[in-house]
Amino acid sequence: MDLEPWAAYGLELQDLGPKGRGLVAGKDFRCGEVLFREKGFRAKSPEHLALEVLASAEARAQVSHLHTGPLCHLEGHAGTLPHGVSEEEWFDAYSKVRFNSFELNGCCFLPIMALFNHSCAPNAAITQLPPHEECHTAMVVVAEQGIARGTEIVYSYNSDCLFVPLRERRKRLLSNWGFLCKCSRCQVEEEAGLEDDEEEPPEMPQLLSWEEVDLKNVNLFQARHEVLHHPGIPFSERKQIFSAQLAAAVQLAP
Ligand SMILES: C[S@@+](CC[C@H](N)C(=O)[O-])C[C@H]1O[C@@H](n2cnc3c(N)ncnc32)[C@H](O)[C@@H]1O
């Protein structure tokens, strides 16, 4: 593998403290721009993917740089290990797959995409590209002002997380991904004491709808901030708005 394949996309890998490493914009990106594409591996489950990785020296090399999650979360292999594979090698491969893959018509594993950190107020989103049988994914900028050079690029590991209050978001991320979310939104809400408070009903902002998906970049994401930050908007409505924005961004992408 190329030593720094993300550099060709204008991305820089940096140490970001409590979140570990993360990818940062090395140049300005426009709203709606596709900033990254990758073809990865797909299998029925993380266990199947780990076995595929262990079976191929090339795949092992492709994942060697990845974060290894907390082993206490792992149940380990159900049956016998492949010939010549030690327990230690199994746990390393399984942990890398388990904590860096996501569910998209099966278990999808993208070795470079796995370097992006999660945020509950993301400035990018990932979307599947055709042909859909392949694990082929693009990342699209969904920040209303685009993404300025030097800004960390973050997407939501589980877009459902965007639409629930702080305590519930943290619970889901902790149980599915094994980390306590330290994104900017969680930190602001934590400092404001929202974890303990009953959430107040929001004033309804001016929201985008499905009918408006052909809007131009300028106002495409004008309602995004409100959508993410007003906890009282019904879950189904938030999801619809978020999906409409993403669909519009993909249509606008070159
Ligand atoms: C897919 S990896 C992302 C890249 C990783 N930071 C690295 O150094 O390789 C996922 C891991 O990054 C860390 N991480 C990602 N987003 C985070 C966030 N919002 N808050 C805290 N940790 C985060 C967690 O350790 C998580 O298990």
Question: pLDDT for 192-220, tens place per residue?
Answer: 876 665 454 444 344 444 344 444 444 44
Strands 154-155, 11-15: parallel, antiparallel or unpaired by DSSP? unpaired
Q: How far is the CA of 80 from the centre of ligand 1 (A)?
A: 30
Structure tokens at 44: 């029925």
Whether 59 and 135 have beta carbons less than 8 Å apart is answered as no
Q: For position 16, what pLDDT does the model report?
A: 94
Pocket test of ligand 1: the residue of 118, 153, 154 to mutate, having most ligand atoms within 8 Å of its CB, is 118
Cα gap 23→151, rounded to integer Å: 9
182 lines ligand 1 (CB under 6 A): yes
Instruction: Work out which ligand 1 atom sits closest to the CA atom of 69.
Output: 27
Neighbours of 150 (CB within 10 A): 12
pLDDT confidence of 11, banded at 50, 70, 90? very high
pLDDT confidence of 24, banded at 50, 70, 90? very high
230 lines ligand 1 (CB under 6 A): no
Q: What are phi and psi of 82, to 5 degrees?
A: -60, 155
CATH topology of domain 5-162: set domain protein methyltransferase, domain 1 (3.90.1410)
Instruction: Work out which ligand 1 atom sits closest to the CA atom of 181.
Output: 20
**Which residue, by CA, sits nearest to atom 23 of ligand 1?**
19
Q: How far is the CA of 105 from the centre of ligand 1 (A)?
A: 23
95 lines ligand 1 (CB under 6 A): no
Q: For position 231, what pLDDT does the model report?
A: 52
Q: For position 115, what pLDDT does the model report?
A: 93
22 lines ligand 1 (CB under 6 A): yes
| pLDDT reading at 13 higher than 90 | yes
| Range of 60-64, 133-137, 172-176, 209-213 with top mean pLDDT | 60-64
Question: pLDDT for 217-254, tens place per residue?
Answer: 444 444 455 555 555 556 566 566 666 656 655 554 44
Q: For position 164, what pLDDT does the model report?
A: 81
Cα gap 103→14, rounded to integer Å: 26
| pLDDT reading at 127 higher than 50 | yes
Helices (H), 3-133: 46-55, 57-63, 87-98
Cα gap 158→173, rounded to integer Å: 8
| Range of 53-62, 66-75, 214-223 with top mean pLDDT | 53-62
Taking Cα atoms as reference points, which of 210, 207, 209, 244 lies closest to residue 227?
Answer: 207
Question: pLDDT for 78-87, tens place per residue?
Answer: 667 777 888 7
Q: Which residues pair with 85 in a beta bridge?
A: none
Q: For position 90, what pLDDT does the model report?
A: 83
Question: Average pLDDT in the 169-178 region?
Answer: 81
Structure tokens at 8: 């060709």
Which ipTM score applies to this complex?
A: 0.99
